[in-house]
Amino acid sequence: MPPHLPSTQAAVTALVEIAGAYGLETTVTDDIGADRTSRRTAAPAFTATDPDGSLPHEAYVEIAGPPRTTLRLFPEGDTLITVEGVDFPDVPRDSAPDFLRAVLDGRARVTGRFFPPGQWLVVPLPGGETHRELIPLPTLTPWLARAARSRP
């Protein structure tokens, strides 16, 4: 079970530290307030808090790579992670650091088959949890091609 990250900021800090340990540059953009976060487009102008009084915090983390990785952390506790153009929606915020570490450690792999045709990026996490998404690109990026060749 991943450690509980009580806030978006705690997750961002963990992600930046992991990327730094691999010598990768990160860029972080924060949107704070109900009128600034993407899922609260119906919030009235200049309304910073949600109806319950909380201040929502959304963050976008871009990691230079390889692999090119972005993480959009939503106030609701889920994360959209994109690795080399492959989107992994609804990854729990608490799992985002383990997900990033698995990708950077080389545990992520590409699997595929001829029928039905397709290739998937598979990211195994500690504790047996696995995320698997279809690769929408007709050709693999160099990093995805290496992940396909280094299958266990």
Residue 142, pLDDT score: 87
What value does the mean pLDDT take over residues 82-88?
95
pTM of full prediction above 0.85: no
pLDDT of 33 strictly over 70: no
Residue 137, pLDDT score: 65
Q: Token pair 């650091």 is at which residue? A: 97
Residue 34, pLDDT score: 59
Q: How far apart are CA 143 and CA 139, in angstroms?
A: 11
Provide the 3-class DSSP secondary structure of residue 146: helix
Least confident of 38-52, 53-67, 89-103: 38-52
Residue 105 carries which side chain, given as an amino acid letter? D
CA 41 to chain centre: 22
Most confident of 107-116, 126-135, 138-147: 126-135
CB 120 within 8 A of CB 110: yes
| Beta-strand pair 130-134/69-73 | unpaired
Q: How far apart are CA 81 and CA 93, in angstroms?
A: 10
Long-range contacts made by residues 116-123, C-beta under 8 angstroms, separation at least 24?
A: 119/148, 121/83, 121/84, 121/86, 121/147, 123/83, 123/88, 123/99
Tokens, residue 133: 């998404």
